[in-house]
Amino acid sequence: MKKLWSVILLSLSLVSADLVKFAAPLTADTNTKIKAVFLYNFTKYVEWPQAYKSGNFVIGVVGDESFSKELDLFFNPKSIGSQRFEIKSFNRASDISPCHMIYVSPQFSGNLNDVLAKIKGKSTLVVTEKPGMARQGAAINFTVIENKQKFELNKANAEKYDLKVSSSLTNLAILVE
């Protein structure tokens, strides 16, 4: 028994640094997804006149091409009744063609009057996303309360375009006159 049998220290290796990984952020614009679901719901809880119940259901986006692309992904190939959704992107008020619903981006809100002038006489639901817009002509204005996406509703601004807002939507909205 001249020596100990191979008392050799093992190196501490299996639990190694390469097992430690940094988690990558999930790629998702959560806010866009939430707004898209809201917009989809608006199409269900608002009633358009009979004349608007054929052809594609057109959603216009003014001043935000990337949001328009996201909506395109979200709404394709959805439909409401027999109407397929169609997303149109506009960079100028003068370019706006007839829409069932139009989303005016915050950066384009300064031109809301131009948008309203363009849709005059048509049943278009105007959705904005800037404080005060529901008092300046928008029917629905996205707002944030306590870190959550909410919406204001100015029922009169919907009704003057011959749009009927359901009581369910009214009950959930922050009402603005």
Partner 1 sequence: MKRLLYIGLIWFLSPAFAWAQADSLNKAIDYYESRDLVKARSAIDAASKHPSTSNLPNTWYLRGFIYKEYFKHYEASNPKSPAREEAVAAFVKVGELDPGKSEFFDDNVRQSLKYLGSTYYNTSSDFFTADGYKTAIEFFEKYKKCYLLANPDFNWKPSHIEFYLSLGTGMENIYVTNRKVNLPYMEITAGMYKKVLEVDTNNITAYYNLCMLYYNHGVSIINDMSDETDILDIDKIQERALEFFKTALPYALKAYSLNPKRRETLVALSGIYFSMHEEEKSAIIQAEIKALDGK
Interface with partner 1 (CB under 8 A): 1-17, 19-26, 28, 30-31, 33-34, 36-38, 40-41, 45, 74, 78, 144, 147-150, 168-169, 172
Smallest gap from Cβ 56 to partner 1, in A, equals 18
Smallest gap from Cβ 46 to partner 1, in A, equals 11
Smallest gap from Cβ 45 to partner 1, in A, equals 7
- Measured in degrees and rounded to the nearest 5, phi and psi for residue 86 equal -135, 130
| 21 or 120: CB nearest partner 1 | 21
| 14 or 51: CB nearest partner 1 | 14
Q: Which are the contacts of 87, defined by CB distance < 8 A and separation ≥ 6? A: 58, 59, 60, 61, 68, 71, 72, 75, 76
Smallest gap from Cβ 75 to partner 1, in A, equals 9
In the chain, the N- to C-terminal Cα span, in Å, equals 98
Q: Measure the CA–CA gap between 102 and 83, rounded to whole angstroms.
A: 17
| 45 or 136: CB nearest partner 1 | 45
Nearest to 41 by CA among 156, 142, 157, 116: 142
Decide if 61 contacts 75 (C-beta within 8 A).
Answer: no
Smallest gap from Cβ 150 to partner 1, in A, equals 8
User: C-alpha distances in angstroms, 120 versus 42, 70, 165?
Assistant: 20, 27, 19
| 144 or 175: CB nearest partner 1 | 144
Decide if 115 contacts 121 (C-beta within 8 A).
Answer: no
| 8 or 51: CB nearest partner 1 | 8
